[in-house]
């Protein structure tokens, strides 16, 4: 192998796996709940696991929105609360978790909004910012 050769999993798993901060969002019908808050600043770049962990009814849908963090400017609630740009549904009867990346200046704020009841969503950073190849062992 040449000095420039590297393992293929570095390309697949851009960030090193690590369990880090978790935000808990409680969504109710007609409201948009966001993480992080303006005081927290934007989400650090990395991979995030978003899990639906509690719902008032099996028919509840938690719409997960991602967007650019701008202090003082919350993400706009979806109207209607349905499929659209930068949104994905979580429901106890179908998809209960997704993984996504927070990209600086593009998707560094996450919000949830529900239809059909209340829901709790955990957003956990499951990587650090370092590439595997940058970590010295």
24 falls within a domain: yes
What does the pLDDT look like over 114-136, one tens digit per residue?
A: 999 999 999 999 987 655 555 44
1 falls within a domain: no
Q: Give the domain CATH number at 69.
A: 2.60.120
4 falls within a domain: no
Number of domains in the chain: 1
**Quick check: 8 pLDDT over 70?**
no
85 falls within a domain: yes
Closest CA to 92 of 57, 125, 66: 57
27 falls within a domain: yes
What does the pLDDT look like over 72-86, one tens digit per residue?
A: 998 887 777 788 888
Range of the domain at 63: 9-134
**pLDDT over 70, % of the chain:** 82
For the chain, the average pLDDT equals: 82
38 falls within a domain: yes
- The HSE-up count of residue 22 (CA atoms within 13 Å, CB side) is 11
Rounded average pLDDT over 97-122: 92
20 falls within a domain: yes
15 falls within a domain: yes
């Amino acid at each position: 192998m040449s000095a420039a050769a590297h393992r293929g999993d570095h390309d697949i798993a851009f960030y090193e796996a690590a369990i880090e901060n978790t935000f808990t969002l409680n969504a109710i019908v007609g409201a948009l709940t966001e993480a992080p808050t303006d005081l927290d600043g934007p989400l650090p770049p990395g991979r995030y696991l978003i899990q639906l962990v509690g719902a008032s009814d099996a028919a509840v849908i938690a719409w997960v929105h991602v967007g650019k963090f701008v202090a003082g400017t919350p993400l706009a609630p979806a109207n209607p609360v349905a499929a659209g740009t930068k949104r994905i549904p979580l429901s106890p009867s179908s998809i209960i978790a997704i993984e996504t990346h927070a990209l600086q200046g593009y998707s560094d704020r996450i919000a949830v909004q529900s239809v059909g009841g209340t829901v709790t969503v955990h957003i956990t950073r499951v990587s650090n910012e370092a590439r595997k190849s940058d970590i010295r062992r």
